[in-house]
Protein backbone atom coordinates (compact mmCIF):
# COMPACT_ATOMS: atom_id res chain seq x y z
CA UNK A 1 0.00 0.00 0.00
CA UNK A 2 0.85 3.68 -0.08
CA UNK A 3 3.32 5.12 2.40
CA UNK A 4 3.60 8.87 3.00
CA UNK A 5 6.52 10.37 4.90
CA UNK A 6 6.27 13.97 6.13
CA UNK A 7 9.04 16.23 7.41
CA UNK A 8 9.71 18.02 9.64
CA UNK A 9 7.48 16.99 12.53
CA UNK A 10 7.88 20.44 14.10
CA UNK A 11 8.72 23.74 12.42
CA UNK A 12 9.26 26.99 14.25
CA UNK A 13 9.56 30.28 12.31
CA UNK A 14 9.40 34.00 12.91
CA UNK A 15 6.47 35.96 11.60
CA UNK A 16 7.15 37.01 8.02
CA UNK A 17 9.48 34.10 7.28
CA UNK A 18 8.67 31.34 4.80
CA UNK A 19 7.84 27.78 5.84
CA UNK A 20 8.29 24.62 3.78
CA UNK A 21 6.89 21.19 4.61
CA UNK A 22 7.92 18.19 2.53
CA UNK A 23 6.26 14.85 1.84
CA UNK A 24 7.31 11.78 -0.09
CA UNK A 25 5.06 8.98 -1.30
CA UNK A 26 5.72 5.46 -2.47
CA UNK A 27 2.91 4.51 -4.87
CA UNK A 28 3.54 5.78 -8.38
CA UNK A 29 -0.21 5.40 -9.08
CA UNK A 30 -1.05 8.19 -6.62
CA UNK A 31 -2.52 11.13 -8.46
CA UNK A 32 -4.17 13.37 -5.87
CA UNK A 33 -2.24 15.26 -3.18
CA UNK A 34 -4.19 17.39 -0.71
CA UNK A 35 -2.90 19.43 2.21
CA UNK A 36 -4.94 19.92 5.36
CA UNK A 37 -4.60 22.42 8.20
CA UNK A 38 -5.78 21.50 11.68
CA UNK A 39 -6.22 24.31 14.15
CA UNK A 40 -6.44 23.62 17.86
CA UNK A 41 -9.73 21.99 18.81
CA UNK A 42 -10.89 21.57 15.23
CA UNK A 43 -10.89 18.91 12.54
CA UNK A 44 -8.50 19.16 9.58
CA UNK A 45 -9.56 21.43 6.74
CA UNK A 46 -8.36 21.36 3.13
CA UNK A 47 -6.18 24.35 2.28
CA UNK A 48 -4.82 23.38 -1.13
CA UNK A 49 -4.53 20.32 -3.35
CA UNK A 50 -2.74 19.30 -6.52
CA UNK A 51 -3.28 16.59 -9.09
CA UNK A 52 -0.57 14.67 -10.88
CA UNK A 53 -1.03 16.48 -14.18
CA UNK A 54 0.06 19.76 -12.58
CA UNK A 55 3.52 20.64 -11.26
CA UNK A 56 2.66 23.65 -9.13
CA UNK A 57 -0.38 25.38 -7.73
CA UNK A 58 -0.62 28.65 -5.84
CA UNK A 59 -3.29 30.29 -3.74
CA UNK A 60 -2.24 33.65 -2.26
CA UNK A 61 0.50 32.90 0.31
CA UNK A 62 0.26 29.14 -0.09
CA UNK A 63 1.76 27.04 -2.87
CA UNK A 64 2.22 23.34 -3.48
CA UNK A 65 4.78 21.76 -5.79
CA UNK A 66 4.82 18.20 -7.09
CA UNK A 67 7.73 16.20 -8.49
CA UNK A 68 6.27 12.97 -9.85
CA UNK A 69 9.62 11.56 -10.86
CA UNK A 70 11.03 11.90 -7.37
CA UNK A 71 7.65 11.16 -5.76
CA UNK A 72 7.66 14.15 -3.50
CA UNK A 73 5.48 17.20 -2.97
CA UNK A 74 5.88 20.24 -0.77
CA UNK A 75 3.80 22.95 0.86
CA UNK A 76 5.22 26.47 0.82
CA UNK A 77 3.83 29.24 3.00
CA UNK A 78 5.23 32.73 2.46
CA UNK A 79 5.02 35.72 4.79
CA UNK A 80 3.88 33.56 7.68
CA UNK A 81 1.49 34.99 10.24
CA UNK A 82 0.66 33.81 13.79
CA UNK A 83 -2.70 32.50 12.53
CA UNK A 84 -0.77 30.07 10.31
CA UNK A 85 0.22 28.21 13.50
CA UNK A 86 -1.43 24.78 13.26
CA UNK A 87 -0.77 21.16 12.41
CA UNK A 88 -0.46 20.51 8.68
CA UNK A 89 -1.07 17.11 7.08
CA UNK A 90 -0.16 15.99 3.59
CA UNK A 91 -1.93 13.07 1.94
CA UNK A 92 -1.78 11.01 -1.23
CA UNK A 93 -4.38 8.88 -2.94
CA UNK A 94 -4.55 6.90 -6.16
CA UNK A 95 -6.99 6.27 -8.91
CA UNK A 96 -10.71 6.57 -8.42
CA UNK A 97 -10.88 5.34 -4.84
CA UNK A 98 -9.76 8.63 -3.21
CA UNK A 99 -8.91 6.81 -0.01
CA UNK A 100 -6.00 8.97 1.19
CA UNK A 101 -2.93 7.97 3.10
CA UNK A 102 -1.88 10.76 5.45
CA UNK A 103 1.52 11.88 6.60
CA UNK A 104 2.10 12.11 10.34
CA UNK A 105 1.71 15.87 10.44
CA UNK A 106 3.87 18.96 10.97
CA UNK A 107 3.30 21.29 13.87
CA UNK A 108 4.01 24.81 12.57
CA UNK A 109 4.63 27.51 15.15
CA UNK A 110 4.85 31.12 13.98
CA UNK A 111 6.34 33.44 16.56
CA UNK A 112 5.14 37.06 16.50
- Nearer to other proteins by Cβ, of 31 and 80: the residue is 31
Residue 76, H or E segment: strand 72-77
Give dist(CA 43, CA 86) in Å, integer. Answer: 11
Closer residue to other proteins (CB): 32 or 76: 32
Q: Nearest distance from residue 89's CB to other proteins, in Å?
A: 7
Binding site for other proteins (CB under 8 A): 6, 9, 32, 34, 36, 41-46, 49, 89, 93, 96, 98-100, 102-105
Give dist(CA 112, CA 15) in Å, integer. Answer: 5
Amino acid sequence: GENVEQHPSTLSVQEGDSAVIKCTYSDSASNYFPWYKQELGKGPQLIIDIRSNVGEKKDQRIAVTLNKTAKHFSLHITETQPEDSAVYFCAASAGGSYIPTFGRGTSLIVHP
